[in-house]
């Protein structure tokens, strides 16, 4: 197998999302991807220290001195954890700053749109059929109002309603937000279940509206389902 020194050299060229991904391959890759020297360089590049804690060998190199206490006195993965913690804290501070101004007429935050985009928040639907297979619907259109956010999913490729048992709505947040750039669609993300709907008896319910082409059903809380003939 490839020597650890060579793998560490390769890992040192990866971005954060890729480094976290290779750490999921196996135990050896996980240990190497937690290397403090790699993560200290990433951390120091993003969060400029008030004082220099390493020596630069030349203007062309960014090799961190292995003799510094910042590396030897820390357990494996320390600077990875510090980087993630500081990134999340910085994004949270930015989001809280955006939701602080309140609309005097509604009493609600007036910068919800900016706050949601800064946090990287998105939504997905997970449709589960009666065999247990899941169908994930990611792409959605958003409409921001002063008092609400409307999320619209539509597709001609959805599975037939007759075979579906449940619909779950998830909020999705990046595990590793970056306050210096727009949230990326790549990288590890965390799902949070917002609501779960049972669809078995949907067509037996009373529709809230219908015409020659569409039937409209309302499921609480806050879900409208349109069925096109």
Asked whether residue 56 is domain-assigned, the answer is no
Domain check: are 128 and 146 in the same one? yes
Per the structure, the count of domains in the chain is 2
| CA dihedral (221, 113, 138, 26) positive or negative | negative
Per-residue confidence (pLDDT) for residue 90, from 0 to 100: 87
Which domain-ending residue is among 119, 136, 154? Answer: 119
- Does residue 209 lie within any of the structural domains? no
**Mean pLDDT taken over the chain:** 81
Q: Do 4 and 101 lie in a common domain?
A: yes
CA distance 128 to 116: 27
Euclidean distance between CA atoms 167 and 136, whole angstroms: 10
**Predicted local distance difference test score (pLDDT) of residue 68:** 56
Residues 151, 182 within the same domain: yes
- Is 65 part of any domain? no
Element (H, E) at 141: strand 141-144
Taking only the tens place, the pLDDT of each residue in 22-44 is: 888 899 999 999 999 999 999 88
CA angle 95/197/193 to nearest 5° reads 30
pLDDT in tens, 41-60: 998 888 775 544 444 444 43
Domain of 112 in residue numbering reads as 1-47+74-119
Using only the alpha carbons of the chain, give its radius of gyration. 24
Cis peptide before 11 (omega within 30 of 0): no
The DSSP code for 60 is S
Tell me the CB-side half-sphere exposure of residue 144, using CA atoms within 13 A: 9
126-172 pLDDT, tens digit per residue, is 999 888 899 998 878 888 887 788 888 887 778 887 788 899 999 99
pLDDT digits (tens, 9 = 90+) for 171-204: 998 877 665 555 556 667 888 999 998 887 676 6
Residue 61 lies in a domain: no
- The last residue of one of the domains, among 119, 145, 172, is 119
- 97 inside domain: yes
Q: What SS3 class is residue 1?
A: coil
- Same-domain pairing of 24 and 92: yes
Cβ contact 119:177 at 8 Å? yes
What is the per-residue pLDDT for 61?
40
Same domain, 177 and 125: yes
In the prediction, which pLDDT does 98 show? 92
> Does residue 214 have a pLDDT over 60?
yes
């Amino acid at each position: 197998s490839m020597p650890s020194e060579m793998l560490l050299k390769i890992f040192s060229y990866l971005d954060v999302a890729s480094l976290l991904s290779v750490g999921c391959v196996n135990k050896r890759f996980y240990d190497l991807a937690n290397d403090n020297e790699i993560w200290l360089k990433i951390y120091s590049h993003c969060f400029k220290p008030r004082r220099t804690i390493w020596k630069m060998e030349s203007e062309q190199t960014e090799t961190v001195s292995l003799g510094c206490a910042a590396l030897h006195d820390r357990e494996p993965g320390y600077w990875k954890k510090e980087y993630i913690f500081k990134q999340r804290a910085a994004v949270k501070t930015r989001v809280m700053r955006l939701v602080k101004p309140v609309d005097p007429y509604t009493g609600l935050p007036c910068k919800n749109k900016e706050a949601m985009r800064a946090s990287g928040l998105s939504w997905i639907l997970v449709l589960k059929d009666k065999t247990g297979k899941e169908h994930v619907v990611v792409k959605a259109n958003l409409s921001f109002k002063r008092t609400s956010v409307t999320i619209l999913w539509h597709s001609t490729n959805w599975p037939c309603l007759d075979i579906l048992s449940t619909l779950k709505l998830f909020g999705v947040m990046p595990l590793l937000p970056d306050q210096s750039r727009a949230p990326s669609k790549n990288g590890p993300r965390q799902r949070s279940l917002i609501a779960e709907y049972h669809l078995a008896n949907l067509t037996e319910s009373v529709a809230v509206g219908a015409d020659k082409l569409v039937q409209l059903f309302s499921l609480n809380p806050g879900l409208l389902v349109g069925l096109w003939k």
